[in-house]
Structure 1
Amino acid sequence: MAKPHIDPAPTCPVARTVDLIGDRWSLLIVRDAFDGVRRFGDFQSGLGVARSVLTHRLKGLVEAGILEVRPASDGTSYQEYVLTAKGESLFPVVVALRQWAEQHMFEPHEAHSQLVDTATGQPLGLMRPIDAHGQLIAPEQTRVIKKTL
């Protein structure tokens, strides 16, 4: 069976993002980085991912500018993987995925984790698309315009 053709530079922003962080391990690495995980061994033990897979995904996230490698903050000879500003801008994506799963992937009384505001202890409000005036906007009120050069 022939491999499907994969566009090396898709014009769809969603496709480009999925190509970069859409696999399970890359997205979970980013999630864990938001939770303060920084060291290879901590990513590996927390995720239960094979060393070779983790090495490959971390390398890709560093090359993409989502994570950067720094010397360990405690002065040891270890390295740490830290979110860059580009990586931190993925926060709304991770929150939206989490909130969708909280609504649709758990039974009503099934236990699950919840993201809360550290100042208030309250769950975050739902991530919702808004228009330029701050009003909620529904899918049927939008359309994609393909830009050309």
Structure 2
Amino acid sequence: MNKMFLMSVMFLMVFSVAAGAQQAQTISSGGKVCLPEECPAGSIPVLTVKLIWKDLEASAGGTGREIIEEVVFKGMEGDREIKFYNARITPSFPRGRVSIDAKCEIKRGESVARTYETDRDNKNNPAPVSYEGAAKGGFSDLKIYLK
């Protein structure tokens, strides 16, 4: 009986260590999104921020899996910058790359008057970073430009 108990405890310890070795840290992001022009009177900017984690490809020892988390923020008429905070993603594994994308719809009532998206040509926009870089705060205090 004692031997069986000891083996059970050892199995649980080994399993716990193995499971814990693959846990990834939740990555948080925050900052400002800059619109190309002021939000017109009578309109509200609705910002969608996406955090995207992409695992390594299967040929590189990963799964190729992708996880996308979206957070929505509302601004006010006259805004040229919209602050976002607490955008979070928890990757499946502590590897791969993390990127951020933003889109802002200028809404007048229920209809969308205009849509702005991340300016991919703007070199000041954050580039995708490794999981390690993102976990070390690589996605905090960002400034994202839309066009």
TM-score normalized by structure 2?
A: 0.22
Larger radius of gyration: 2
The answer to which structure, 1 or 2, has the higher relative contact order (CA under 8 A, 6+ apart) is 2
The structure with more strand, counted as a fraction of residues: 2
Going by fraction, where is helix more abundant, 1 or 2?
Answer: 1
TM-score by length of 1: 0.22
